[in-house]
Amino acid sequence: MSNVTLNVEGMSCGHCVSAVEKAVSGVGAAAKVDLSAKTVAVEYDENKVSLNVIKEAIEDQGYDVV
C-alpha cells in the first residue's frame, strides 16, 4: 500500500469532500479529505491503481491537484 497526501484546490464544503472521496474510491483507492488544510490523503495499492489515475479522478470532479 502507498500513502500520498495531495494538495487539492477548490474544495469548499462537505459536498466537495464527498465528491472527492467518492471519485477516489471509484478508482479503487481510499481518500481522507482535510478541508481546512486543502489536502487529500490517499491510500492505494500501486499494483491496482496509479497515482495519476487517482489525480485524474479528482480533477474530473472539477478540483485542481497542485
Q: Smallest gap, in angstroms, from Cβ of residue 41 to Cu ion?
A: 18
Q: How many chain residues touch Cu ion (CB under 5 A)?
A: 4
Q: Smallest gap, in angstroms, from Cβ of residue 12 to Cu ion?
A: 5
- Contacts with Cu ion in 1-30 (CB under 5 A)? 12-13, 15-16
Helix (H/G/I), strand (E/B), else coil: 62: coil
Under 8 Å CB-to-CB from 23, ≥6 apart: which residues?
31, 57, 58, 60, 61
Q: Smallest gap, in angstroms, from Cβ of residue 5 to Cu ion?
A: 20
Which segments of the chain does DSSP mark as H helices, in order?
14-26, 51-60
Binding site for Cu ion (CB under 5 A): 12-13, 15-16
